[in-house]
Amino acid sequence: MHKIFTFLAAAIAIPCTAWAGYPSPQLQKAIEAYNQEHYESALQQFTAIVTQQPRQGYAWGYIARIRQHNEQPGQALEAGRKALELVPQPDSVFRASLHACMASSYAATRDTAAALDALDHAVALDAHDPDYRYQRASLLMKGGRCSQAETDYRYLAQADTLNPDGLMGLGTALDCQGRAQEALEAFDQAIARFPADDGARAFRAAQYFNLQRYSEAADDAISSLELKPDNRHALWVMSNLAAVDATGLTAKLKAKQAADTAHADYWASLINQFTPAP
């Protein structure tokens, strides 16, 4: 059976962390503009700085970030390389953020190998920042390298305990290796740890569907939509359920409509959407 639970690990956008050093007044002003998201003004200021001080690595680093934000990967990579040549080696946190920003630009140019290499550097330099592992795991999943992604997600499930994405990513990585029961157990853990997370229930709904446990899939999809009515993944699961078990799905939606009278119109809309025409 073709699985509907495809590689759904969210692509993680990695913001570069702010430099905690002691910049000059000119550099500080440019950084403030950047932090206020006045990117064009900040770019002009950083460009003026490197024109006067071509070896100001931090200014080059911020230029790289802005170019990446502006979807100019070639220019972002050029600025990032200059920054890495100039930013002091002991500033591992800033250098790690540069590698992560460059990874995004490499990914934009479809150079996955270079992007993963950059993320390897970011993780090595700042192993405690979970964002770099999320970004790397997402790229590995997109490339079908699920067992490698599993390693990162398993680490994140243990280290990033306030975020359900580690466990959900682990479940995704296990599922794409054909380890369906282990994947289900990961989603069980995510829901136990984060009972109010709509995404965890939507992901488990998909896993139940893959296992042809349609009644449980419908229950989780409905629970997910109760938490977030526009959860697209839960709605996707419902559309697949409607194709294989429309009667069961409709019965559960009608029961939910009767029990949740405050939102009866919403459940009625789903009944109309997912009940096949006679």
At residue 84, does pLDDT exceed 60?
Answer: yes
Q: What is the pTM of this model?
A: 0.83
CB atoms inside a 10 Å sphere around CB 108: 16
Which positions ≥6 away from 194 have C-beta within 8 Å?
A: 164, 200
Letter string b/e over residues 125-141, b meaning 16 or more CB atoms within 10 A of that residue's CB:
bbeebbbbbbbbbbbbb
89 exposed, middle or buried (CB, 10 Å; 0-12, 13-18, 19+)? exposed
Which pair of tokens denotes residue 71? 């979807």
Tell me the pLDDT tens digit for each residue of 31-76. 999 999 999 999 999 999 999 999 999 999 999 999 999 999 999 9
At residue 18, does pLDDT exceed 50?
Answer: no
Instruction: Report the alpha-carbon distance of residue 181 to residue 270 in Å, rounded.
Output: 30
Give yes or no for a contact between 81 and 59, defined as CB atoms under 8 angstroms apart. no
Which pair of tokens denotes residue 81? 């390389």
Give yes or no for a contact between 214 and 222, defined as CB atoms under 8 angstroms apart. no
- What is the pLDDT, as a whole number, of residue 17? 40
Could you tell me which residue, 14 or 38, shows the higher pLDDT? Answer: 38
Tell me the pLDDT tens digit for each residue of 202-259. 999 999 999 999 999 999 999 999 999 999 999 999 999 999 999 999 999 999 999 9
- What is the pLDDT, as a whole number, of residue 22? 58
Residue 130 — pLDDT band, cuts 50, 70, 90? very high
- What is the pLDDT, as a whole number, of residue 4? 38
Q: How far is CA 179 from the centre of its chain?
A: 22
CB atoms inside a 10 Å sphere around CB 36: 10
Tell me the pLDDT tens digit for each residue of 135-181. 999 999 999 999 999 999 999 999 999 999 999 999 999 999 999 99
Could you tell me which residue, 187 or 1, shows the higher pLDDT? Answer: 187
Instruction: Report the alpha-carbon distance of residue 221 to residue 122 in Å, rounded.
Output: 37
At residue 277, does pLDDT exceed 70?
Answer: no
